[in-house]
Amino acid sequence: MSITSSKEVWSTLQEEFQGRKIFDKKIIEKILIFVAHKYNTMVTTIEQTKDLSTLLMTELMGSLEAYKQGMN
């Protein structure tokens, strides 16, 4: 399966983890790399202000979604 949009990433993650708290730094980093081209400013802010080893997946996705809504 090829994931090409942030919505597909989010849907796949929701199906995979079904609400479990995720603290996997590698997963967080992969998501940040995937969305960096579209949300570069926000990704940089997250990387500089948050501890990726304790950041919950839901917090990351919430931050990206809030940034997206602010752009519209």
Structure confidence at residue 2 (pLDDT): 59
Question: What's the pLDDT score for residue 23?
Answer: 64
Question: Does the pLDDT value for residue 6 go beyond 60?
Answer: yes
Question: Backbone phi, then psi, for 37, in 5-degree steps?
Answer: -65, -30
How far apart are alpha carbons 61 and 58 in whole angstroms? 5
- Provide the whole-model pTM: 0.53
Query: pLDDT tens digit string along 18-62?
Result: 656 666 777 778 888 888 777 788 888 888 998 888 888 888 888
- Report d(CA 62, CA 66) in Å as an integer: 6
For 70, what's the count of Cα atoms within 13 Å in the CB-facing half-sphere?
Answer: 9
Give CA–CA dist 32/25, Å, rounded. 10
